[in-house]
Structure 1
Amino acid sequence: MNKQLRAIVTVILCVLTAIGVALFITVNLSPLFIHVSAAAPLCLTRGQVQTDYWRLLAYLELPWVRHLQLQSIPITAQALIHFRDVRHLLLIGELVSGVSLVITIWLVHKQKRQGQLWRLLLPLKWSLYLIVMLAWLPLINFSADFVAMHRVLFTNHDWLFSPQRDPIILLMPEQFFWHLFMIWLVVALLLIGTLWEWLMFELGLPKLRTNKANNRRD
């Protein structure tokens, strides 16, 4: 593998890691955005709703939690199948992110040791532009893109919840997912931006800019 190709692979793995870590952070921040008040018709307390939601998150994210059992919120077999599908996607994402993180650390360390960190700048810059461009599409028409995403990711129609049969969907209206998407995007961009700033620092580019600015003033 030549040096430039290795740099591109390193950047791709960096971006995958950032996307995965951002997804993990977003999912675990989601309890802050559930619509607890929407569960009023169920006559449940805030504590009961939040407890069941945390049970759902544990099932979705922890490989050793094999069954979804909610204490207070009724749930149908169709919803259980959908959450099982979501669980598979999240666990695969966690695995890919973990493997990418380990390989990324090794490759970046190797690039640094060989004095090749500068090769990461251009691919990382274009990756950042690409993410911003692709993220702009859901911002234009989130509802349509949200539905299209479900049709691509899930081969069945189990994601079409009925509020009467599966009131858990009342906790997660479209606005809920909009907030999560925005959090994911911001966190992912911050992680990639942090990597960019670290590369600039390691390469001494901020210091170089400062020196050039001082020379112009002199």
Structure 2
Amino acid sequence: MSRFKESMGIVSLMLLIVSIAIAITIWFIPLYQLAIYNYDLPERLGLTYDQLMNNYYVLLRYLHFPWVTELNFPDFISSEDGLFHFYEVKRLFYVNYGVLFISGIGTYFYVRFLRKTKRYWVLIKPFFIASLVPPVLLMFLAVAFDQMFVLFHQLFFDNDAWLFNPATDPIINALPEAFFMYCFILFFVLIEGSFIIGYQMSKRKAFKD
């Protein structure tokens, strides 16, 4: 295999890990349940736990299912800017699933090649280097989450529709900033765990072969 194809195989593997971690994070409903309890959202918003979860499920269905084309919260009004932002998030989710699918195919053929040629050793260094990144980002998250949160939106959105006004988009009150922090933490933990496991497995297989 040429060096370019080798590099593309490693990139596919890393992208697969990242996209799977994103998918797990956005579907991991206990994160929102944790935010509800930690920030006493029912009392603060005057809604029941079931009402909050129902609105959250409405949002999840809209963000994930192509046949759900309109977002109508049962207990919250929405502005045009707010709805447009959720539409942009929906598109990003689809991009992630597209990356997951394509990188999954690339990774399948690459891993099959590694199995046939017993070249697992080529993954040791990439996994080691990749494992150094999440701890740095987690430290930055711990000391400067606000800046990281703003930077994230500036990188992925070319407008300020994400700056929700609670008066016109009260759903933002049901999605506290801490909830998104929980999401970032889970994401970084998932990819770090995957990188460490990948590093250990590639070392074990390399030495075994």
- Are positions 1:93 and 2:92 aligned together? no
| TM superposition shift of 1:94 | 1.3
Structure 1 contact 8–123 (Cα < 8 Å) conserved: no
Matched ranges for 1:63-102 at <5 A: 63-102=66-105
Please identify, of 143-152 and 7-16, the stretch whose mean Cα deviation from structure 2 is larger.
7-16
- Tell me, yes or no, if structure 1 residue 51 matches structure 2 residue 54: yes
Cα distance in 1 between the residues matched to 2:143 and 2:45? 35
Cα distance, 1:39 vs structure 2:
4.7
* 1:198–1:8 CA distance, 2 compared to 1 (3 A): same
Correspondence list, 1:1-218, <5 A: 2=2, 4-29=3-28, 30-35=31-36, 37-40=40-43, 42-205=45-208
- Give 2:33's aligned amino acid: L
Q: Deviations over 1:146-175 (max 9, x none)?
A: 112212221121111122322211122221
In 2 relative to 1, CA 121–42 (structure 1 residues): closer, same or farther, beyond 3 Å? closer
1:11/1:124 contact within 8 Å kept? no
Contact 1:39 1:170 in 2 (8 A): no
Q: Is the 8 A contact 2:9 2:110 kept in 1?
A: yes
- Alpha-carbon distance change, 39 to 32 in structure 1, aligned in 2, over 3 angstroms: closer
What letter is aligned with 1:21? I
The structure-2 alpha-carbon separation of the partners of 1:138 and 1:31, relative to structure 1 and needing over 3 Å to count, comes to closer
Counterpart secondary structure, 2:132: helix
CA distance in 1, matches of 2:74, 2:163: 22
* Unaligned runs of at least 5 residues, structure 2: none
| TM-score relative to the length of structure 1 | 0.83
Is the Cα contact below 8 Å between 1:35 and 1:170 reproduced in 2?
no
SS of corresponding position for 1:73: coil
TM-score where L is the length of structure 2:
0.87
Instruction: Report the number of matched residues.
Output: 205
Cα gap change, 1:136 to 1:157, in 2 (>3 Å): same
1:122-158 Cα offsets, whole Å, 9 max, x none, are 1221122234434543333111121122122211211
Structure possessing the higher radius of gyration over alpha carbons: 1
The sequence identity of aligned pairs, in percent, is 25
- Following TM superposition, the consecutive aligned residue runs of length 4 or more in structure 1 with deviations greater than 4 angstroms are none
Give the conservation status (yes or no) of the 8 Å contact 2:120–2:202.
yes
Q: CA RMSD in A?
A: 2.2
The residue number in structure 2 matching 1:213 is none
State the SS of the aligned residue for 2:164: coil
Shift of 1:84: 0.5
- For residues 114 and 41 of structure 1, the distance between their equivalents in structure 2, rounded to whole angstroms, comes to 60
The runs of 5 or more residues in structure 1 that have no matched partner are 209-218
Q: CA deviation at 1:42?
A: 4.8
